[in-house]
Amino acid sequence: MSKGQEKDIGSREQFEERVKQLGLSDDTLIGVYRTMCTVRHFEYMADKLYAAGKVHGTMHLSAGQEAVAAGISMAVCPDDYLINHHRGHGHFIAKGADINLMMAEFLGKDTGYNHGRGGSMHIADFQSNNLGANGIVGGGIPQAVGVGLALKMQKRKEICVCIFGDGAANEGVFHEAMNMVALWKLPVLYVCENNKYGMSMDVERASAKLPLAQRADAYGIPWACVDGNDVVEVYDAMKTAVEHIRSGNGPYFVEAITYRYFGHSKSDRNLYRPKEEIEDWKQNRDPIMRFTKHLLQSEILDEGQAQEIDAQAEQVIVKAVEFAEASPEPDVSTLMEYVYA
Protein backbone atom coordinates (compact mmCIF):
# COMPACT_ATOMS: atom_id res chain seq x y z
CA MET A 1 0.00 0.00 0.00
CA SER A 2 1.32 3.40 -0.90
CA LYS A 3 1.49 6.08 1.70
CA GLY A 4 -1.76 7.98 1.58
CA GLN A 5 -2.31 11.67 1.47
CA GLU A 6 -3.29 13.81 4.36
CA LYS A 7 -7.05 14.07 4.59
CA ASP A 8 -8.25 17.46 3.46
CA ILE A 9 -10.08 18.93 6.43
CA GLY A 10 -11.82 21.63 4.42
CA SER A 11 -11.77 25.37 4.82
CA ARG A 12 -12.22 27.42 7.94
CA GLU A 13 -15.45 28.83 6.56
CA GLN A 14 -16.91 25.41 5.87
CA PHE A 15 -16.14 24.25 9.40
CA GLU A 16 -17.53 27.38 11.02
CA GLU A 17 -20.68 27.26 8.93
CA ARG A 18 -21.15 23.62 9.88
CA VAL A 19 -20.73 24.04 13.62
CA LYS A 20 -22.98 27.07 13.52
CA GLN A 21 -25.67 25.07 11.74
CA LEU A 22 -25.33 22.35 14.33
CA GLY A 23 -25.50 24.86 17.16
CA LEU A 24 -22.15 23.83 18.63
CA SER A 25 -20.61 26.42 20.94
CA ASP A 26 -16.87 26.94 21.39
CA ASP A 27 -17.15 25.53 24.90
CA THR A 28 -18.75 22.36 23.58
CA LEU A 29 -16.05 21.96 20.96
CA ILE A 30 -13.30 22.48 23.52
CA GLY A 31 -14.98 19.94 25.79
CA VAL A 32 -15.02 17.41 22.98
CA TYR A 33 -11.35 18.02 22.32
CA ARG A 34 -10.63 17.44 26.01
CA THR A 35 -12.61 14.19 25.97
CA MET A 36 -10.72 12.87 22.96
CA CYS A 37 -7.37 13.78 24.51
CA THR A 38 -8.37 12.02 27.73
CA VAL A 39 -9.32 8.85 25.88
CA ARG A 40 -6.08 8.89 23.93
CA HIS A 41 -3.99 9.29 27.06
CA PHE A 42 -5.94 6.57 28.86
CA GLU A 43 -5.24 4.12 26.06
CA TYR A 44 -1.54 4.93 25.74
CA MET A 45 -1.19 4.73 29.51
CA ALA A 46 -2.95 1.35 29.48
CA ASP A 47 -0.45 0.13 26.92
CA LYS A 48 2.42 1.46 29.01
CA LEU A 49 1.11 -0.18 32.17
CA TYR A 50 0.78 -3.44 30.31
CA ALA A 51 4.35 -3.19 29.01
CA ALA A 52 5.48 -2.55 32.58
CA GLY A 53 3.87 -5.81 33.65
CA LYS A 54 1.24 -4.16 35.79
CA VAL A 55 -1.84 -5.52 34.01
CA HIS A 56 -3.01 -9.01 34.87
CA GLY A 57 -5.38 -9.63 31.96
CA THR A 58 -6.08 -8.49 28.48
CA MET A 59 -7.19 -5.16 27.08
CA HIS A 60 -8.68 -3.81 23.89
CA LEU A 61 -7.55 -0.29 23.18
CA SER A 62 -9.49 2.26 21.18
CA ALA A 63 -6.77 4.77 20.29
CA GLY A 64 -7.66 6.12 16.84
CA GLN A 65 -11.40 5.70 17.43
CA GLU A 66 -11.90 8.61 19.83
CA ALA A 67 -14.19 10.65 17.56
CA VAL A 68 -16.88 7.97 17.58
CA ALA A 69 -17.20 7.90 21.36
CA ALA A 70 -16.96 11.68 21.62
CA GLY A 71 -19.42 12.31 18.79
CA ILE A 72 -22.02 10.02 20.37
CA SER A 73 -21.67 11.62 23.77
CA MET A 74 -22.28 15.08 22.26
CA ALA A 75 -25.63 13.96 20.90
CA VAL A 76 -27.07 12.04 23.84
CA CYS A 77 -28.13 12.99 27.37
CA PRO A 78 -26.27 11.87 30.48
CA ASP A 79 -29.25 9.71 31.51
CA ASP A 80 -29.40 7.81 28.24
CA TYR A 81 -28.39 4.17 28.52
CA LEU A 82 -25.22 2.70 27.11
CA ILE A 83 -24.43 -0.88 26.16
CA ASN A 84 -21.09 -1.26 24.47
CA HIS A 85 -18.44 -3.71 23.40
CA HIS A 86 -15.11 -4.99 24.65
CA ARG A 87 -13.19 -2.02 23.22
CA GLY A 88 -15.09 0.30 25.51
CA HIS A 89 -12.74 2.60 27.44
CA GLY A 90 -13.45 5.56 25.17
CA HIS A 91 -17.22 5.21 25.40
CA PHE A 92 -17.07 5.19 29.20
CA ILE A 93 -14.85 8.24 29.39
CA ALA A 94 -17.05 10.11 26.92
CA LYS A 95 -20.10 9.17 29.00
CA GLY A 96 -18.48 10.79 31.99
CA ALA A 97 -17.23 7.80 33.93
CA ASP A 98 -14.96 8.31 36.93
CA ILE A 99 -11.53 7.70 35.46
CA ASN A 100 -10.03 6.75 38.81
CA LEU A 101 -12.57 3.93 39.18
CA MET A 102 -11.98 2.83 35.59
CA MET A 103 -8.22 2.70 36.06
CA ALA A 104 -8.64 0.86 39.36
CA GLU A 105 -10.81 -1.74 37.65
CA PHE A 106 -8.28 -2.03 34.83
CA LEU A 107 -5.64 -2.88 37.44
CA GLY A 108 -8.04 -5.27 39.18
CA LYS A 109 -8.35 -3.26 42.37
CA ASP A 110 -11.12 -3.41 44.96
CA THR A 111 -11.87 0.28 44.43
CA GLY A 112 -12.64 -0.34 40.75
CA TYR A 113 -16.11 -0.12 39.26
CA ASN A 114 -16.55 -3.90 39.57
CA HIS A 115 -14.41 -4.46 42.68
CA GLY A 116 -11.83 -6.11 40.46
CA ARG A 117 -14.23 -8.80 39.19
CA GLY A 118 -14.53 -7.53 35.64
CA GLY A 119 -11.38 -5.86 34.39
CA SER A 120 -11.01 -3.86 31.19
CA MET A 121 -13.62 -5.83 29.26
CA HIS A 122 -16.53 -5.54 31.70
CA ILE A 123 -16.53 -2.05 33.12
CA ALA A 124 -20.03 -0.89 34.02
CA ASP A 125 -21.51 1.94 36.03
CA PHE A 126 -25.15 1.37 36.78
CA GLN A 127 -25.51 4.69 38.57
CA SER A 128 -24.86 6.53 35.33
CA ASN A 129 -26.90 4.09 33.22
CA ASN A 130 -23.83 2.53 31.72
CA LEU A 131 -24.94 -1.08 31.50
CA GLY A 132 -21.56 -2.50 30.80
CA ALA A 133 -19.18 -3.64 28.15
CA ASN A 134 -19.53 -7.12 26.75
CA GLY A 135 -16.86 -9.71 26.19
CA ILE A 136 -19.00 -11.76 23.83
CA VAL A 137 -18.97 -10.22 20.36
CA GLY A 138 -22.50 -9.02 19.67
CA GLY A 139 -23.70 -10.06 23.13
CA GLY A 140 -25.06 -6.64 23.97
CA ILE A 141 -26.94 -6.08 20.70
CA PRO A 142 -30.06 -8.08 21.66
CA GLN A 143 -30.01 -6.78 25.23
CA ALA A 144 -30.59 -3.29 23.86
CA VAL A 145 -33.97 -4.58 22.64
CA GLY A 146 -34.92 -5.25 26.26
CA VAL A 147 -33.64 -1.89 27.45
CA GLY A 148 -35.59 -0.16 24.69
CA LEU A 149 -38.67 -2.21 25.51
CA ALA A 150 -38.48 -1.28 29.20
CA LEU A 151 -38.02 2.40 28.34
CA LYS A 152 -41.12 2.23 26.15
CA MET A 153 -43.15 0.35 28.78
CA GLN A 154 -42.07 2.80 31.46
CA LYS A 155 -42.94 5.71 29.14
CA ARG A 156 -39.55 7.31 29.65
CA LYS A 157 -37.75 9.81 27.47
CA GLU A 158 -34.30 8.22 27.61
CA ILE A 159 -32.93 6.16 24.76
CA CYS A 160 -30.51 3.26 24.63
CA VAL A 161 -27.26 3.57 22.70
CA CYS A 162 -25.77 0.23 21.73
CA ILE A 163 -22.29 0.24 20.23
CA PHE A 164 -20.75 -2.80 18.56
CA GLY A 165 -18.03 -3.51 16.04
CA ASP A 166 -17.97 -4.58 12.42
CA GLY A 167 -17.30 -8.16 13.54
CA ALA A 168 -20.47 -8.26 15.65
CA ALA A 169 -22.62 -7.41 12.66
CA ASN A 170 -22.06 -10.96 11.44
CA GLU A 171 -23.42 -12.61 14.57
CA GLY A 172 -26.91 -14.11 14.30
CA VAL A 173 -28.32 -12.07 17.16
CA PHE A 174 -27.60 -8.91 15.17
CA HIS A 175 -30.40 -9.87 12.79
CA GLU A 176 -32.79 -11.07 15.49
CA ALA A 177 -32.32 -7.81 17.35
CA MET A 178 -32.63 -5.54 14.27
CA ASN A 179 -35.91 -7.23 13.42
CA MET A 180 -37.38 -6.95 16.88
CA VAL A 181 -36.22 -3.43 17.59
CA ALA A 182 -37.80 -2.28 14.34
CA LEU A 183 -40.93 -4.37 14.78
CA TRP A 184 -41.61 -2.80 18.17
CA LYS A 185 -40.27 0.68 17.23
CA LEU A 186 -38.00 0.83 20.23
CA PRO A 187 -35.86 3.83 21.25
CA VAL A 188 -32.50 2.32 20.39
CA LEU A 189 -29.57 3.88 18.60
CA TYR A 190 -27.36 1.18 17.13
CA VAL A 191 -23.85 2.34 16.35
CA CYS A 192 -21.59 0.07 14.36
CA GLU A 193 -18.06 1.17 15.06
CA ASN A 194 -16.38 -0.21 11.98
CA ASN A 195 -12.64 -0.17 12.63
CA LYS A 196 -12.06 -2.36 9.58
CA TYR A 197 -10.94 -5.49 11.42
CA GLY A 198 -12.69 -8.11 13.52
CA MET A 199 -9.54 -9.19 15.31
CA SER A 200 -7.52 -9.99 12.14
CA MET A 201 -10.42 -10.42 9.73
CA ASP A 202 -10.80 -7.55 7.28
CA VAL A 203 -14.40 -6.40 7.08
CA GLU A 204 -14.24 -6.79 3.31
CA ARG A 205 -13.32 -10.46 3.66
CA ALA A 206 -15.98 -11.06 6.31
CA SER A 207 -19.03 -9.25 4.97
CA ALA A 208 -20.78 -10.01 1.70
CA LYS A 209 -21.97 -6.48 1.11
CA LEU A 210 -20.84 -3.12 2.36
CA PRO A 211 -21.54 -0.74 3.94
CA LEU A 212 -22.75 -2.77 6.87
CA ALA A 213 -25.27 -0.08 7.70
CA GLN A 214 -27.33 -0.86 4.60
CA ARG A 215 -28.38 -4.08 6.33
CA ALA A 216 -30.70 -1.80 8.31
CA ASP A 217 -32.73 -1.35 5.11
CA ALA A 218 -33.82 -4.97 5.39
CA TYR A 219 -35.57 -4.10 8.62
CA GLY A 220 -36.86 -0.68 7.62
CA ILE A 221 -34.48 1.10 9.99
CA PRO A 222 -33.11 4.46 8.76
CA TRP A 223 -29.33 4.54 8.61
CA ALA A 224 -26.24 6.57 7.87
CA CYS A 225 -22.63 5.69 7.23
CA VAL A 226 -20.19 8.37 8.30
CA ASP A 227 -16.51 9.19 8.58
CA GLY A 228 -15.94 8.07 12.14
CA ASN A 229 -12.73 10.07 12.40
CA ASP A 230 -14.53 13.38 11.90
CA VAL A 231 -16.11 14.15 15.23
CA VAL A 232 -18.41 16.82 13.84
CA GLU A 233 -19.67 14.46 11.14
CA VAL A 234 -20.23 11.77 13.75
CA TYR A 235 -22.14 14.24 15.91
CA ASP A 236 -24.22 15.42 12.96
CA ALA A 237 -25.38 11.87 12.22
CA MET A 238 -25.97 11.04 15.87
CA LYS A 239 -27.98 14.22 16.37
CA THR A 240 -30.29 13.33 13.51
CA ALA A 241 -30.57 9.79 14.84
CA VAL A 242 -31.28 10.82 18.41
CA GLU A 243 -33.94 13.32 17.32
CA HIS A 244 -35.60 10.63 15.24
CA ILE A 245 -35.58 8.17 18.13
CA ARG A 246 -36.64 10.60 20.84
CA SER A 247 -39.60 11.69 18.73
CA GLY A 248 -40.94 8.16 19.02
CA ASN A 249 -40.08 7.02 15.50
CA GLY A 250 -38.18 3.91 16.56
CA PRO A 251 -34.58 2.83 16.09
CA TYR A 252 -31.78 4.27 13.98
CA PHE A 253 -28.53 2.79 12.74
CA VAL A 254 -25.27 4.66 12.27
CA GLU A 255 -22.08 3.09 10.98
CA ALA A 256 -18.92 5.03 11.75
CA ILE A 257 -15.82 4.11 9.76
CA THR A 258 -12.72 4.36 11.89
CA TYR A 259 -9.44 2.62 12.64
CA ARG A 260 -7.67 1.22 15.67
CA TYR A 261 -3.98 1.89 16.14
CA PHE A 262 -3.13 -0.85 18.60
CA GLY A 263 -3.61 -4.53 17.89
CA HIS A 264 -6.85 -6.30 18.67
CA SER A 265 -5.61 -7.21 22.14
CA LYS A 266 -2.35 -7.68 23.95
CA SER A 267 -1.25 -10.72 21.94
CA ASP A 268 -1.69 -9.10 18.52
CA ARG A 269 1.45 -8.73 16.40
CA ASN A 270 -0.36 -6.97 13.55
CA LEU A 271 0.56 -9.63 10.99
CA TYR A 272 -2.62 -9.13 9.01
CA ARG A 273 -2.24 -5.48 8.06
CA PRO A 274 0.66 -3.55 6.60
CA LYS A 275 2.54 -1.09 8.76
CA GLU A 276 2.01 1.49 6.03
CA GLU A 277 -1.72 1.24 6.48
CA ILE A 278 -1.48 1.90 10.21
CA GLU A 279 0.88 4.81 9.59
CA ASP A 280 -1.40 6.23 6.92
CA TRP A 281 -4.32 6.40 9.35
CA LYS A 282 -2.13 7.80 12.12
CA GLN A 283 -0.40 10.44 9.98
CA ASN A 284 -3.19 11.47 7.68
CA ARG A 285 -6.57 10.75 9.23
CA ASP A 286 -6.11 10.90 12.97
CA PRO A 287 -9.34 12.18 14.55
CA ILE A 288 -7.66 14.30 17.21
CA MET A 289 -5.17 15.81 14.78
CA ARG A 290 -7.93 16.73 12.35
CA PHE A 291 -10.13 18.26 15.01
CA THR A 292 -7.22 20.18 16.54
CA LYS A 293 -6.48 21.71 13.13
CA HIS A 294 -10.05 22.93 12.91
CA LEU A 295 -9.94 24.43 16.37
CA LEU A 296 -6.67 26.22 15.63
CA GLN A 297 -7.74 27.34 12.16
CA SER A 298 -10.95 28.79 13.56
CA GLU A 299 -9.08 30.33 16.49
CA ILE A 300 -11.21 28.52 19.01
CA LEU A 301 -7.97 27.50 20.65
CA ASP A 302 -4.38 28.57 20.13
CA GLU A 303 -1.43 26.19 20.16
CA GLY A 304 -0.64 26.90 23.79
CA GLN A 305 -4.20 26.34 24.94
CA ALA A 306 -4.50 23.12 22.97
CA GLN A 307 -1.28 21.82 24.50
CA GLU A 308 -2.43 22.83 27.95
CA ILE A 309 -5.71 20.92 27.64
CA ASP A 310 -3.82 17.92 26.37
CA ALA A 311 -1.40 18.16 29.31
CA GLN A 312 -4.31 18.45 31.73
CA ALA A 313 -5.92 15.36 30.22
CA GLU A 314 -2.65 13.50 30.65
CA GLN A 315 -2.51 14.58 34.28
CA VAL A 316 -6.01 13.17 34.89
CA ILE A 317 -4.73 9.81 33.70
CA VAL A 318 -1.52 10.03 35.72
CA LYS A 319 -3.57 10.79 38.84
CA ALA A 320 -5.89 7.88 38.05
CA VAL A 321 -2.91 5.55 37.90
CA GLU A 322 -1.71 6.89 41.25
CA PHE A 323 -5.17 6.28 42.70
CA ALA A 324 -5.35 2.79 41.26
CA GLU A 325 -1.86 1.78 42.32
CA ALA A 326 -2.48 3.01 45.86
CA SER A 327 -5.77 1.08 46.03
CA PRO A 328 -6.04 -2.29 47.76
CA GLU A 329 -6.48 -5.58 45.95
CA PRO A 330 -9.80 -7.29 46.67
CA ASP A 331 -9.33 -9.50 49.70
CA VAL A 332 -9.32 -13.17 48.76
CA SER A 333 -11.76 -13.76 51.60
CA THR A 334 -14.37 -11.87 49.53
CA LEU A 335 -14.19 -14.39 46.66
CA MET A 336 -17.71 -15.71 47.25
CA GLU A 337 -19.35 -12.29 47.45
CA TYR A 338 -22.05 -11.63 44.84
CA VAL A 339 -22.69 -15.36 44.52
CA TYR A 340 -26.28 -16.53 45.06
CA ALA A 341 -26.43 -19.75 43.06
Partner 1 sequence: MPEITYLEAIRQALWQEMKRDERVFLLGEDIGRYGGAFGLTHGMLDEFGEERVLETPISEATIVATAIGAALLGMRPVAELMFMDFVLLSLDQLANQAAKMHFMFGGRATVPMVVRMPGGSGSGAASQHSQSLESVLMQFPGLIVVNPSTPYDAKGLMLSAIRNPNPVCFVEHKVLYKTKGEVPEGDYTIPIGVAEIKRPGRDITVVANNVMVMKTLNVAEKLSKEGIEVEVIDPRTLLPLDTEAILKSVARTGRLLVVHEACQTGGWAGEVIASVVGSPVFDYIDAPVRRLAGKDIPIPYNRGLEKSAIPQEADIEQEIRALVEGRI
Binding residues for partner 1 (CB under 8 A): 81, 83, 112-118, 122, 124-126, 131-132, 134-136, 139, 141-151, 153-154, 160, 172-173, 176-177, 179-180, 183, 337-341
Nearer Cβ to partner 1, position 83 or 225?
A: 83
**Minimum distance of partner 1 from residue 220's CB (angstroms):** 14
| Nearer to partner 1 among residue 62 and residue 130 (C-beta) | 130
- Shortest distance, position 145 Cβ to partner 1, whole Å: 5
Nearer to partner 1, 4 or 146 (CB): 146
Nearest distance from residue 271's CB to partner 1, in Å? 29
Closest CA to 228 of 165, 153, 306: 165
- How far lies 125's CA from each of 98, 116, 284, in Å? 9, 13, 35
In angstroms, what is the minimal distance from the CB of 327 to partner 1? Answer: 14
Collapsing DSSP states into helix, strand and coil, what is residue 63?
Answer: coil
Q: Which is nearer to partner 1, 302 or 329 (CB)?
A: 329
Spatial distance between the Cα atoms of 81 and 140, rounded to a whole number of angstroms: 12
Tally the C-alpha atoms within 13 A of residue 117's C-alpha that lie toward its C-beta: 11
d(CA 253, CA 223): 5
Nearer to partner 1, 34 or 175 (CB): 175
Instruction: Say if residue 211 is preceded by a cis peptide, omega within 30 of 0.
Output: yes
Q: Closest distance between partner 1 and the C-beta of residue 158, in Å? A: 9
Sign of the torsion angle spanned by Cα atoms 182, 188, 189, 192: negative
Q: Return phi, psi of residue 88, to 5°.
A: -110, 0
Distance of CA 311 to the CA centre of its chain: 22
Dist CA 289 CA 270 (whole Å)? 23
Residue 134 or 195 having the CB closest to partner 1: 134
Q: How far is the CB of 148 from partner 1 (least distance, A)?
A: 7
Nearer to partner 1, 24 or 173 (CB): 173
Is-contact 167 195, C-beta < 8 A? Answer: no
Of 182, 186, 202, the C-alpha closest to 147 is 186
Q: Which CB atom, from 265 or from 284, has the smaller least distance to partner 1?
A: 265
Name residue 36's amino acid: M
CA 112 to chain centre: 20
CB of 172 to partner 1, least distance (A): 7
CA 105 – CA 241 distance, rounded (Å): 32
- CB of 214 vs partner 1, minimal distance in Å: 21
